[in-house]
Amino acid sequence: MFTKRFYDGHEYCSQWARGLKASLRLFLASAIICCAFTESGQAAPAVTCRIGPIERTYGGIKWLVYGCDDKTSLVVVSEAGSPAMPFTFFFSQTNDGYQLHGGGTGDKRLTDAAYKDLAALTASDIAALIAETVVQEKKLEDIPNAP
């Protein structure tokens, strides 16, 4: 599935690596854009979403779920190599619960199916996912040399 190509024996390039870079850029851009303003239109503090990840299936494919340092937001990123890649969903807390945003260029049929599953999550489901990302992060901290 991951084909490697070598150029002059020195430069390593793969479709997987390019896709991963694109997915990470999209993830970071989405997190910045989605967190840039509050509901009132005022600038919001920057949020970093690197807690976790945990793996979940939405729309029939696997996604990586990250909690954010504000302890109320959640990011769902298409897994590397997924036909839904690159795509990112972002849950932000509002006065009425959560708002779901999404963006990317992954397979629309798959991302629409994932959106449908994610939109069905309740505020308590999202809070449970956030808590689970924190638990996963603590597990990784206990492993020597973990990323």
In a domain, 84, yes or no: yes
Tell me which amino acid residue 71 is: K
- Does the model's pTM come out above 0.85? no
Provide the residue range defining the domain that includes 117: 4-141
146 belongs to a structural domain: no
> Prior bond to 53 cis, omega within 30?
yes
Place of tokens 């708002």: 99
Do the domain assignments include residue 129?
yes
Report yes or no on 136 lying in a domain: yes
Domain presence at residue 11: yes
For residue 109, is it within any domain? yes
Taking the C-alpha atoms of 138, 143, 144 and 147 in order, what is their torsion angle to the nearest 10 degrees? -70
Total tally of structural domains belonging to the chain: 1
Of 98, 103, 66, the closest CA to residue 88 belongs to 103
Taking only the tens of pLDDT, the chain with its 147 residues reads 333 333 333 333 334 344 444 444 444 444 444 444 444 455 556 888 999 899 999 999 999 999 999 999 999 999 999 999 999 999 999 998 999 999 999 999 999 999 999 999 999 999 999 999 988 876 656 555 555
| Assigned domain for 147 exists | no
